[in-house]
């Protein structure tokens, strides 16, 4: 930050806190409604299939806005974009809390997502421009804590609010926090003069030829792609005509978008940033890492709730060792960034994640939350070692005035990675479970003496409680089926966790190619 900047006299931690409020709410709201969906479904009269659109609408519009953040920042300035985005997010939150029909709630969640989309990229750009070059690792550590903690805290917070109050309060709670964030941003955040000048120059150029074609293509392509990723599992993927149509639309629109952005002199989204190898490698690795994080965040609560019988709140508490570890280790990794090569830190994170995933692949029906703590702590350290150097290094060569463009692209690719990870592991868990159950069923056939003995014992025990013969027989068969299903789920989780570790190990050679430009300040080149 230059001495002439108005923000030079403002404490950098106040600036970080100011832009942190909105970004953390945006990440929490991507997952906070999930545990409240049964309550919401009863209030708005939606079916099980329809209710997922409350989450899907938010994710689609959030991802849609991310890559356009730089374009918006050029016209209005990144501070105004942040403030407007936070205001839209708060309006959407208030409307969601007041919604009493399914259609209204989906529409208001889409509005909320439109506001949330630019919060992460602008927060990241402001932090990078606020902290001096020797503290860039710490700036990204603060950003990482917001991004990684949101999905972890969201379900637990949503469950607690819903259990103790009512589901509208998962939205209303944003209002006072967001209002404080707006006031603090207005008071403490100031854009650097060189960034403002560069944005004015770019806006002057863009006004003559706004890239409406590129904006239209990315809106169509991203919306279709997110629909495929969010709804593919429930629609049985390409067995569904709507998924096939959306996939074709996404492919055509996104290919046309890339061609358009690489050939027009005034692109809405500056894809030429990927010519920088460091940015490209760091962004791709960040997407892979986030796909593993979100995939793991999906698998573990299901294991805890459906296999171990935890409540949603207890499952969230069970995941706290990972959350607390990330909170503790992420700032340390940020402080070490200038002293340890990013390739070494990232490689350490990859190996630790593989070790933690291997340990998780040995879960059983008797595994306790205490036994889960060790692999959760290991993977928490791993994610801290991955996120901070990947994001910091990815932006290390980017000129100051292009940070918001790069941050938007980085966030966009990372969110697509998260959606892909969620879709892949949701599908694989279902298929692995079905395959495991098909393999186990022959072992419990009526022709096996062990099965006959177990059924007779169960019938005897149930008969002693006053059940008639037909009822005891059905109940005994249900017990056998339940045990087979539980064992099949365990085998499915084992394969899924093991696959996660193996997949991340595959990108280790790419991680070793990371090179950070620590000596050069982030300034125009």
Report, as an integer, the average pLDDT of 96-103: 88
CA 138 – CA 339 distance, rounded (Å): 12
Residue 284's nearest CA partner among 107, 513, 37 is 513
User: Are residues 509 and 520 both part of a single domain?
Assistant: yes
Residue 379 has pLDDT above 80, yes or no: yes
In sequence order, what are the residues at sequence separation of 6 or more whose Cβ sits closer than 8 angstroms to the Cβ of residue 31? 150, 151, 154, 155, 158, 297
Are residues 126 and 183 both part of a single domain? yes
Residues 255 and 298 in one domain: no
Q: Are residues 234 and 328 in the same domain?
A: no
pLDDT of residue 326 exceeding 90? no
Residue 302 confidence class, pLDDT cut points 50, 70, 90? confident
Q: Tell me: do 17 and 68 sit in the same domain.
A: yes
Confidence of residue 248 (pLDDT cuts 50, 70, 90): very high
112 and 144 in one domain? yes
In terms of domains, do 9 and 116 share one?
yes
Say how far apart CA 98 and CA 414 lie, in whole Å. Answer: 32
pLDDT band at 465 (very low <50, low <70, confident <90, very high): low
| Nearest by Cα to 62 from 103, 17, 14, 110 | 110
Predicted confidence (pLDDT) per residue in 416-459, tens digit: 888 888 788 888 888 888 888 888 777 766 666 666 666 666 66
Its domain, for residue 448, covers 435-488
Indicate whether 256 pLDDT > 90: yes
What is the residue-averaged pLDDT of the chain? Answer: 79
Q: How many domains does the chain have?
A: 4
What per-residue confidence (pLDDT) applies to 152? 65
CA 152 from centroid of its chain's CA atoms: 9
Confidence tier at 4 by pLDDT (50, 70, 90): very low
Neighbours of 465 (CB within 10 A): 8
Closest alpha carbon to 19 in 107, 100, 139, 103: 139
Q: Does 340 score more than 80 pLDDT?
A: yes
Q: What pLDDT is recorded for position 490?
A: 84
Q: Kindly indicate the confidence band of residue 273, based on its pLDDT and cuts at 50, 70 and 90.
A: confident
Q: How far is CA 128 from the centre of its chain?
A: 21
Residue 408 sits in a domain of what CATH number? 1.20.1250.20
Same domain assignment for residues 136 and 52: yes
Tokens of 66: 């991310």
pTM of the model: 0.75
Instruction: With cut-offs at 50, 70 and 90, classify the pLDDT of residue 377.
Output: very high
- 279 has a pLDDT exceeding 50: yes
pLDDT surpasses 50 at 524: no
Same domain, 260 and 279: no
Query: Which residues have CB under 8 Å from 381's CB, separation 6+?
Result: 325, 329, 349, 352
């Amino acid at each position: 930050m230059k001495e002439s900047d108005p923000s030079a006299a403002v404490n950098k931690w106040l600036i970080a806190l100011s832009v942190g409020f909105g970004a953390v709410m945006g990440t929490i709201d991507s997952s906070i409604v999930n545990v409240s969906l049964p309550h919401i479904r009863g209030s708005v009269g939606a079916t099980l299939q329809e209710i997922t659109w409350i989450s899907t609408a938010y994710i689609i519009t959030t991802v849609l806005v991310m890559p356009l953040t730089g374009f918006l920042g050029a016209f209005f300035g990144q501070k105004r974009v942040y403030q407007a985005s936070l205001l839209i997010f708060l309006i959407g939150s208030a409307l969601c809390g007041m919604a009493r029909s399914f259609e209204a709630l989906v529409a208001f969640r889409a509005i909320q997502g439109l506001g949330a989309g630019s919060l992460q990229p602008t927060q990241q750009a402001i932090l990078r421009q606020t902290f001096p070059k020797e503290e860039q690792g710490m700036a990204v550590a603060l950003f990482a804590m917001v991004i990684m903690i949101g999905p972890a805290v969201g379900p637990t917070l949503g469950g607690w609010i819903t259990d103790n109050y009512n589901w509208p309060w998962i939205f209303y709670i944003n209002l006072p926090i967001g209002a404080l964030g707006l006031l603090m941003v207005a008071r403490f955040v100031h854009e650097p003069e060189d960034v403002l000048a560069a944005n004015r120059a770019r806006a002057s150029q863009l006004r003559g030829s706004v890239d409406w074609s590129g904006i239209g293509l990315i809106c169509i392509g991203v919306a279709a792609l997110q629909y495929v990723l969010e709804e593919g599992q429930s629609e049985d993927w390409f067995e569904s005509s709507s998924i096939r149509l959306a996939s074709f639309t996404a492919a055509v629109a996104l290919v046309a978008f890339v061609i358009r952005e690489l050939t027009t002199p005034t692109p809405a989204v500056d894809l030429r940033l990927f010519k920088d190898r460091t940015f490209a490698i760091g962004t791709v690795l960040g997407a892979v890492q986030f796909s593993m994080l979100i995939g793991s965040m999906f698998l573990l609560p299901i294991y805890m709730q459906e296999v171990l019988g935890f409540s949603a709140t207890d499952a969230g508490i069970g995941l706290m060792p990972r959350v607390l570890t990330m909170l503790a280790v992420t700032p340390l990794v940020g402080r070490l960034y200038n002293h340890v090569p990013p390739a070494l830190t990232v490689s350490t994170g990859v190996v630790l994640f593989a070790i933690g995933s291997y340990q998780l692949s040995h879960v059983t029906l008797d595994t306790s939350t205490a036994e889960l703590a060790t692999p959760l702590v290991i993977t928490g350290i791993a994610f801290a070692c991955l996120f901070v150097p990947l994001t910091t290094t990815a932006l290390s060569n980017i000129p100051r005035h292009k940070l918001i463009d790069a941050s938007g692209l980085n966030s966009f690719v990372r969110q697509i990675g998260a959606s892909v990870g969620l879709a892949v592991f949701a599908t694989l868990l279902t298929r692995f479970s079905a395959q495991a159950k098909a393999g186990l069923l022959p072992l419990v056939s009526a022709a096996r003496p062990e099965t006959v003995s177990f059924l007779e014992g169960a019938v005897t025990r149930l008969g002693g409680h006053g059940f008639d013969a037909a009822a005891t027989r059905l109940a005994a068969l249900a017990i056998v089926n339940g045990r087979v299903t539980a064992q099949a789920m365990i085998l499915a989780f084992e394969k899924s966790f093991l696959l996660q570790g193996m997949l991340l190990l595959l990108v280790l050679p790419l991680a070793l190619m990371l090179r950070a430009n620590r000596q050069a300040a982030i300034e125009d080149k």
